[in-house]
Structure 1
Amino acid sequence: MADASKDIVDGFPGDKKIIVVFVLGGPGSGKGTQCAKIVQHFNFTHLSAGDLLRAEITSGSRNGVMIQNMMNEGKIIPPEVTIKLLRRAMLDSANDKFLIDGFPRDEENRAAFENITKIEPEFVLYLDCPEDELERRILSRNQGRADDNTETMRKRFRVFKESTLPVIMHYDLKGKVRKVDAAKPVDEVFEDVKVIFAPLIAKV
C-alpha cells in the first residue's frame, strides 16, 4: 500500500495530506450504499462525480451552462471539467480522506486525475458483482429512473466493461485493488469493506 504522505495536492492549504480511495463497480453494485456506510464508520467524505456535475448545472453558473449544453449535444464532458469540480470539493472540505464514487470511468479520466491533482489513490475498492445479479437489482428497484430499462442498462454494463475495467486492471497491476464480493447482502459486503479500511485508518 502506498505511503499516504506522498499524496499531496499542489495548492492545497498547508501541506495537507490527502487520502483518496476510488470506489468502482458495475451499475447496481452498491457503490452509493457502501460509500454511505464508509462515511459513517470511517469519517471519509464521499464525492460523486455525477452529483458534482449535476449540482454545477443546477447552480446556473457559466460552467454549469457549458456542461448542460455539452450534454444536450451528446458530447462527452472533458475529464478536466469533472476533475476541477472534484478538486474544488476537496479544497472546500475540512476533511483529508475522500471516497470518489464511480470515477475514473476510463483511462483518460484516470491519467488526467493523476496529472492534475498529483494524487494516486491509496487503493481502489472494487465492488465485484455478476452481471445477472446487477440486472436483477436494477430492474427490481423502484426509483423512477428513466434509464433503468433493459436496453440502457446493458449499454451501461458494456461501457463499464470496455472503459472502466481497464482502469481497475491498471491499478491491480500496481497492487492497489481491493476486491469484495458485492453479490452478498449489504451488511455482509460492509463487513468485508471494514476489513479493508481498518488498516488504512490505523496507519493515519
Structure 2
Amino acid sequence: MTSKPGIVFVLGAPGSGKGTQCEKIVDKFGFVHLSAGDLLREERNTPGSQYGALIEGHITGGTIVPVEITCSLLEKAMIKSGSSKFLIDGFPRNQNNLDGWNSQMGAKVNLLFVLFFECPQEVCTDRCLQRGAAGSGRSDDNPESLAKRFDTYINATMPIVDHYRAQDLVRTVLANRSPDEVFVDVCEAFDGIKEA
C-alpha cells in the first residue's frame, strides 16, 4: 500500500443501528466493513484459537477484550481485504482501545472521521431484545448482558466520542428513525470523501 488506508470509526450504543447502516455505506461508498465484535466472535468460534476462551469470557461478561487482540484481528482483516477504505464498527470502545490503536495502528492509517449514531437507550434495548428473540445467535442480546454493555458504553465509549469531538472529527447522526431516514444523514456525513 502506497498511501495509508482511510478509516472511519463507527460508534454508537448497542442496537443503535451501526451494522445496518454499515451495510448501506458499503453498498454506496465502497468501504470495507470491519466489525470489531464480529471479528472477535469469529475468532472465538475458530477451533483451536489461542484467544477463544478469553474472548468468550469478555463477551458474556459485557467487558472489553484486550486491545492487542482486537487490533491484530483488525489489521489482519485490513491486509487480507486489500482495500484502502474501511469502516471500523464498534471500536475504539474505551481509552485503552484508543491508546492501543494509536500505538499499534495510528501511524499506518488515516482517520477520516468518527461516525456517531446517537440513539436513546430504551430504543436500543428494544432493538437488541427483538434481535435476540429473532435468533440473532448473539450470546449478549439479553437483558443482563445489555445492562452491562450500556454501562460500558456510557462510562467508557462516550469519553472516546468526546475526545474526537474536541478534535472536530465526529459526525453525529440521530439513529432513532427508520434505517432509510438515518441513511440520508449518513450520506451527508460521507459527502466530500467519496474519493478519499
Same fold (TM over 0.5): yes
Normalised to the residue count of structure 2, the TM-score between the two structures is: 0.87
**Aligned with 2:187: secondary structure?**
helix
Give identity over the alignment, percent. Answer: 43
Verify the 8 A CA contact 1:23 1:103 in the aligned structure 2.
yes
Where structure 2 has 5 or more consecutive residues not aligned to the other structure, the ranges are none
State yes or no: 1:143 paired with 2:134. yes
- Residue 126 of structure 1 is matched in structure 2 by 116
Name which of structure 1's ranges 132-141 and 185-194 shifts more when overlaid on structure 2: 132-141
Q: Which moved more, 1:46-55 or 1:176-185?
A: 46-55
Q: State the Cα RMSD in Å.
A: 1.9
* 1:74-153 matches, cutoff 5 A: 77-117=65-105, 118=107, 119=109, 121-141=111-131, 142-144=133-135, 145-153=138-146
Q: Give the corresponding residue for 1:194.
A: 187
Letter in 2 for 1:174: Q
Cα deviations by residue, 1:172-191 (Å, 9 ceiling, x for unpaired)? 00000000000011100000
Aligned AA for 1:67? Y
Give the match's secondary structure for 2:191. helix
1:110 corresponds to which letter in structure 2?
L
- Distance verdict in 2 for CA 1:55–1:139, change over 3 Å: closer
What do residues 56-104 of structure 1 show as CA deviations (whole Å, max 9, x unaligned)? 333335xx2x212324565963211110111111111221000001011
> Based on CA coordinates, which of the two structures has the bigger radius of gyration?
1
TM-score, length-scaled by structure 1: 0.84
Shift of 1:146: 4.4
Question: How many Å separate the matches in 1 of 2:57 and 2:181?
Answer: 42
Which structure has the higher relative contact order (CA within 8 Å, separation 6+)?
A: 2
Corresponding pairs, count: 187
